[in-house]
Amino acid sequence: MGMNIGSGNSNKEPEVMMEMNMTPLIDVMLVLLIMLIITIPIQNHAIKLNMPVGNPPPPLTQPLVITIDVTPDGTVIWNGENIPNRTVLEAKLKDVAATPDQPEVHLRPNKLVPYKDVAAVMASAQRLGVTKIGMVGNEQYTN
């Protein structure tokens, strides 16, 4: 690459090398690249937010909580009362969604209940407009 050795005949002039030596060019490019990286200032992508200071005031009234339990056989229990079928459940969920300050709905499925039964309750709540719904008792699934 860098040297061209003659063919053994020492009387003739060596042939002219037609290739450019790339090593110095690559060295210069690497030095320039390193200098460019060093001299570029570090970009700070910060967004200034006016965050509230102090503790928020406690709520004036405690929210109403509705507990929905789902048993392993698929039975839905609304605040301790058995719900006979899905239409009664949807009527109760519609009443919850119609109130201006919706109560919190805590859905507490049993560990052994099939997923389809829990998903049916959640789908009904979402379809009817219940916005404050949460799963309670997830620590039973960690074991």
Residues facing 77 on adjacent strands: 69, 82
pLDDT score of 21: 84
Q: What is the tens place of the pLDDT at every residue in 36-76?
A: 888 887 777 777 888 888 888 887 888 889 999 999 988 99
Q: What is the tens place of the pLDDT at every residue in 65-105?
A: 999 999 998 899 999 899 988 999 999 999 999 988 889 99
On whether the pTM is more than 0.85, the answer is no
C-beta of residue 64 within 8 angstroms of C-beta of residue 96: no
Mean per-residue pLDDT, 128-133: 90
Strand order in the sheet with 76-78: 81-83, 76-78, 65-70, 104-109, 133-135
Q: Is 99 helix (H, G, I), strand (E, B) or coil?
A: coil
